[in-house]
Amino acid sequence: MSSTPIGIFGGTFDPIHNGHLRLAQEALEQCNLSEIRFVPCGTPPHRSAPHTSAQHRSNMTRLALQGSAAFVLDEREIRRGGPCYTVDTLTALRAELGERQPLCLLMGGDAFLSLHTWHEWEKLFGLAHIVVVQRGACASHNGRPLGNAIIEADAALREAYRARLAPSPRALRESPAGAVVVVEMPALEISATGIRRHCAENRSIRYLLPDAVAEYIRSNHLYTQPC
């Protein structure tokens, strides 16, 4: 097996920001991915309803990805009605891309620690590798990626992590799915919640997200209400 892995990065993207983009860039380079598909979530099953429509979130994601040849918008979840489960998205991508193509589901460390709450989460390992992008200087603790956080995590998740943790991103090319790889990135203290709050308080959101997205938010009067 030697095909170049493809990354899949799902999120509410309400709005997409530089933290998301930097996570993707780090994963692209550190894991030698051929491309990353950004998948805005339609109806997120794990959290409260987004503050803007799926179409606005998708439009903002398209604007944010302009100029990055390796970053691709994938609108399948917003086209599908009802709750969007990652297991369904990966099943569809696997059917399209074939059994041998390595797929890597990207997520932050915070998202990984609640993976056991996702619908049919154990099936995800049969469909893709998981690349956890840990933020910050204490990303690894005594050489153990995810440090103390994983020790305190859900027992089944901890077992899956221990059994599947690969020592390097090279593992991502050796099979189509099933490994967990942890890479690190410098922390960027940016969140969509913080950006929405800035908008509602009429504060600048410049340098937190691409200018084109900031302009889209301004001209469509998004996030003007307190969140």
Q: Which residues contact 89 (CB under 8 A, 6 or more apart)?
A: 8, 10, 39, 76, 77
**Please, which residue, 16 or 179, has the CB nearer to ligand ATP?**
16
By the rule CB under 6 A, 107 interacts with ligand ATP: yes
Q: What CA–CA distance (Å, rounded) separates 12 from 109?
A: 16
By the rule CB under 6 A, 13 interacts with ligand ATP: yes
| Of positions 29, 110, 120, 159, contacts ligand ATP by CB under 6 A | 110
Determine contact, residues 5/34, Cβ cutoff 8 Å.
yes
Please state the closest distance from residue 108 (CB atom) to ligand ATP, in A. Answer: 2
| Of positions 5, 19, 145, 176, contacts ligand ATP by CB under 6 A | 19
Q: Mask 138-177, x = binds ligand ATP (CB under 6 A)? A: ----------------------------------------
Q: Which whole-number Å values give the CA distances from 20 to 14, 81, 186, in the listed order?
A: 11, 24, 12
Determine contact, residues 48/10, Cβ cutoff 8 Å.
no
Please state the closest distance from residue 100 (CB atom) to ligand ATP, in A. Answer: 26
Q: What are phi and psi of 13, to 5 degrees?
A: 50, 55
Q: Mask 21-40, x = binds ligand ATP (CB under 6 A)? A: --x-----------------
Q: What CA–CA distance (Å, rounded) separates 15 from 28?
A: 21
Given the rule CB under 6 A, which residues bind ligand ATP?
A: 11-14, 19-20, 23, 107-108, 110-111, 135, 188, 190-193
